[in-house]
A = this chain, B = another copy of it.
Amino acid sequence: MVVVESVEPEAADSGQSLAERLFVTLRGEIVDGSIPAGSKISEPELARRFNASRGSLREAVMRLESLGLLERRVNVGARVVDLSERGLLELYDVREALEGMACRLAATEHRGEDLLELRRMLAHHEQQEALQAGTAYYQPEGDFDFHFRIVQASNNDLLIDTLCNRLYYRVRMYRYQLGMFSPRAKSAFREHSNIIDAIEAGDGELAEILMRRHIRASRLNIEKKLTTER
């Protein structure tokens, strides 16, 4: 069954052009698994589905490719990347490096509004933790917001773009589809708190070290899970 649907309006205002709306919509479906990892992308089929021309859809596909969510081979077509254990671990190493640097920069940039925002967010998370008694309080998006904000506070546009507009979509993809949100609720919360303290104190070196440990701990946690599961 083929249902013709127009691009979601929520995605609509985020971009003026049809191609960009298609891009946003498809990106969402790839991230949450509606379009399964490893599956083939058929340009004609998707064009019909969204009632758009193949050209516009092609533009969206190419943007997805440069995001690293699709792999394209000439004269063959595009496939959604598949999720591998190796890919997930690689992602952690890159994040450790970049988010560590983001913390260092955020500490020296030291912009008041960002810090305030981080504190508010953490307080909000703490409330939720109290409510849900630490079982798995960290709804993935909460943790996500924290890291997102830290990066924004770095005030390095290249770093922000690399993490927020590229790598984080891949992170979300792994989280949604492999469900690897850590049950390290309490410790993660304390680590977040310590990181903010360091940033607030202007201690870039410490902030970087703490963030790197934080991410590495997540990575080790995942590694452990992966090895016990088999």
Interface on A for B, CB 8 Å cutoff? 15-17, 20, 55, 58-59, 62-63, 66-68, 74-75, 87, 90-91, 93-94, 96-98, 100-101, 105, 156-159, 161-162, 167
* Option from B62, B68, B101, B158 in Cβ contact (under 8 Å) with A63: B62
A132 to chain B, nearest CB (A): 33
Compute how far the CA of A93 lies from the CA of B67 in the bound complex, rounded to whole angstroms.
Answer: 22
Inter-chain contacts of A162 with B (CB < 8 A): 94, 162
Q: Are B90 and A94 in contact (CB under 8 A)?
A: no
Q: Are B55 and A156 in contact (CB under 8 A)?
A: no
Inter-chain contacts of A87 with B (CB < 8 A): 157-158
A194 to chain B, nearest CB (A): 20
Inter-chain contacts of A94 with B (CB < 8 A): 98, 101, 156, 158-159, 162
Inter-chain contacts of A158 with B (CB < 8 A): 68, 87, 90-91, 93-94, 167
Compute how far the CA of A157 lies from the CA of B90 in the bound complex, rounded to whole angstroms.
Answer: 7
Closest Cβ neighbor of A98 among chain B residues: B97
Compute how far the CA of A68 lies from the CA of B157 in the bound complex, rounded to whole angstroms.
Answer: 11
Inter-chain contacts of A161 with B (CB < 8 A): 68
Compute how far the CA of A43 lies from the CA of B58 in the bound complex, rounded to whole angstroms.
Answer: 18
A3 to chain B, nearest CB (A): 28
Compute how far the CA of A156 lies from the CA of B105 in the bound complex, rounded to whole angstroms.
Answer: 25
Q: Are A74 and B159 in contact (CB under 8 A)?
A: no
Closest Cβ neighbor of A20 among chain B residues: B74
Q: Are B96 and A101 in contact (CB under 8 A)?
A: yes
Q: Are B97 and A101 in contact (CB under 8 A)?
A: yes
Q: Are B156 and A17 in contact (CB under 8 A)?
A: no
What are 22 A-B pairs at a CB distance below 8 A? A16-B75, A17-B74, A17-B75, A20-B74, A58-B59, A59-B62, A62-B62, A62-B66, A63-B66, A66-B66, A68-B161, A87-B157, A91-B158, A93-B101, A94-B159, A94-B162, A97-B97, A97-B100, A97-B101, A97-B159, A98-B98, A158-B167
Inter-chain contacts of A59 with B (CB < 8 A): 58, 62
Compute how far the CA of A105 lies from the CA of B159 in the bound complex, rounded to whole angstroms.
Answer: 21
Q: Are B93 and A159 in contact (CB under 8 A)?
A: yes
Inter-chain contacts of A98 with B (CB < 8 A): 94, 97-98
* Option from B16, B62, B63, B74 in Cβ contact (under 8 Å) with A74: B16
